[in-house]
Homo-oligomer: A and B are copies of this chain.
Amino acid sequence: MVATTPVSPVTAAAVGDALATLRERSPLVQCLTNIVVAQWTANLLLATGAAPAMVDNPEESGVFAGVASGVLVNVGTPYGETAAAMEQAVAAAGRAGTPWVLDPVAVGPLLGWRTGIALRLLSVAAPAVVRGNASEVMALAGGAGGKGVDSLDTPEAALDAARALAGSHGTVVAVSGPVDHLTDGERLVTVANGHEWLTRVTGVGCALGALMAAFAGCVEDPLLAATAATATLTVAADEAAARTAGPGSFAVALLDELAALTPEALTERVRLG
């Protein structure tokens, strides 16, 4: 943190204000994401109040990153062409000052190609936020990592790795889990909302990364942006889980609850630590 950058405290009130700002500005979020979650990510952004645009080819991703409010890069199903597009987008985001979010899906020693892509992207321009599960964050920070998309580690176990990664890259690191942990290397925020069914719907974490890019595109402090995204998604999930009977209807209700969630209700219901 540079002393001249004003950093508001990450409070429940600030989180509610961030949602109000997102609704006013409807940030344009460029998503370079995987084939599994592209539709869900776009629908979740639309439901919340942001504007998605999936420009993920190398001919156009750079120029679009220059006009987008925020950029998400998710390495869930990389291919030669989309990996090249990611590098163009991150370089252009860096030049334009567009905040970008890295979701290092399944990085680790098993999947070396995507791990190399993620590490290269980190060296091209510093992301506003890195969002992953504990295994992914530990792998990116130089640890062992998991074998797939599910984490074998707890967010608490990944805290040292998260702080180190945040410090070395000047970024916020958000670690998903039963209690989400977010840090900029100095401050630590936890969010204790959410429901087990979030793990039974594909792409919730991926869509959370996109929502972080949306908030980063309209509030200044990346830690507040990442926290507001996490709070918005998990508070809506609490509401959705309370009135549904399985993962199918839960996913549908989650979109409805995201659209219905008010800044006031968010401030009231978020459980920050």
Contact = CB atoms under 8 A, between A and B. Distances in A.
Interface string A32-53: 0011111110110011000111
Given A36-B42, A38-B35, A39-B37, A47 B110 contact: no
A251 to B, nearest CB: 7
A160 interface: no
Contact of A248 (B59, B79, B256): B256
- Chain A interface size band reads 35 or more
Interface in A193-232: 199-203
A72 interface: no
30 contacts: A34-B54, A35-B54, A36-B54, A37-B39, A38-B39, A38-B77, A39-B40, A43-B248, A46-B200, A46-B247, A47-B246, A47-B247, A51-B148, A51-B149, A53-B148, A55-B77, A56-B77, A57-B77, A60-B112, A60-B113, A60-B114, A63-B111, A245-B260, A246-B257, A247-B259, A248-B254, A248-B259, A249-B252, A251-B252, A251-B255
- The count of identical subunits is 3
Given A46-B202, A54-B34, A79 B81 contact: yes
A28 interface: yes
A251 B114 CA distance: 33
B54 A76 contact: yes
A202 B248 contact: no
Nearest to A30: B148
Interface of A: 28, 34-40, 42-43, 46-47, 51-57, 59-60, 63-64, 67, 76-82, 106, 110-114, 147-150, 199-203, 244-249, 251-257, 259-260
Nearest to A254: B248
A152 B206 CA distance: 29
A81 B39 CA distance: 21
